[in-house]
Amino acid sequence: QVQLVQSGAEVKKPGASVKVSCKASGYTFTSYGISWVRQAPGQGLEWMGWISAYNGNTNYAQKLQGRVTMTTDTSTSTAYMELRSLRSDDTAVYYCASSDDAFDIWGQGTMVTVSS
Amino acid sequence: SYELTQPSSVSVSPGQTARITCSGDVLAKKYARWFQQKPGQAPVLVIYKDSERPSGIPERFSGSSSGTTVTLTISGAQVEDEADYYCYSAADNNQVFGGGTKLTVL
């Protein structure tokens, strides 16, 4: 079936980096872009950025520019999101999502905890 | 940057009509999407292109648009509709979510 499966939970120390993966199946990976969205505990959804799975073009939220990198591997239909220089306020559930009009699928979420 | 403003909470009794608004200048030019999120779950798309309903979403969910405001309407709200609802839009190279509205049905 159509799905996005994300990597498991991570615990990182402040200043470290984290890389979350998102593997697509059940559809043509290069037909849709992948967005990354995060949600801090008890807070709302925050859009982080988007990458075209077709040509790798990216668009990042201004507040994360310089700390985030999104990539794709079309050979494995997998998207990646790397966040560097982690701070405590980066603690959140990170989601990948692929959407276009009515086509809308989300990963199950990856909890990233930043704590010393 | 763009901003979308939603009420923090809306409360209705079962069977009543719930209306959740979302306001922002970008909505005058771009479509909105609405997502439903229940605790511990990923968001689910309930409305796209302001008023289109994906397959599998109950007919009681509808959307409308007027100027810089979009509205999600749940006609005859059910207890299972209790959730957080987020509007979303994209313009140029920016995408943004509203702050979310907690819908209580009791």
Residue B91 confidence (pLDDT): 79
Contacts of A97 in chain B (CB under 8 A): 43
What average pLDDT does this structure show over B25-38? 96
- Which candidate from B48, B86, B93 shows the least CB-CB separation from A101? B48
CB contact under 8 A, A47 and B54: no
Q: What is the rounded CA–CA span in Å between residue A83 and residue A12?
A: 11
CB proximity B58 to A under 8 Å:
no
Q: Is pLDDT above 90 for A2? A: yes
Chain A interface disruption, residue of B36, B37, B45, B86, most A CBs within 10 A: B45
Q: How many CB atoms lie within 10 A of CB A85?
A: 11
pLDDT band at A50 (very low <50, low <70, confident <90, very high): very high
pLDDT digits (tens, 9 = 90+) for B57-73: 999 999 999 999 999 99
Q: What is the rounded CA–CA span in Å between residue B42 and residue B35?
A: 10
pLDDT digits (tens, 9 = 90+) for A57-116: 999 999 999 999 999 999 999 999 999 999 999 999 999 999 888 889 999 999 999 999
Lowest mean pLDDT among A28-37, B11-20, B68-77, B90-99: B90-99
Nearest one of A115, A29, A16, A33 to A78, comparing CA atoms = A29
- Is the dihedral angle over the CA atoms A46, A8, A12, A33 positive or is it negative? negative
Q: How many CB atoms lie within 10 A of CB B53?
A: 19
pLDDT band at B92 (very low <50, low <70, confident <90, very high): confident
- The answer to whether residues B89 and B33 touch, using CB atoms and an 8 Å cutoff, is yes
Token pair, residue A47, equals: 């859009």
Residue B1 confidence (pLDDT): 62
CB contact under 8 A, A102 and B96: no
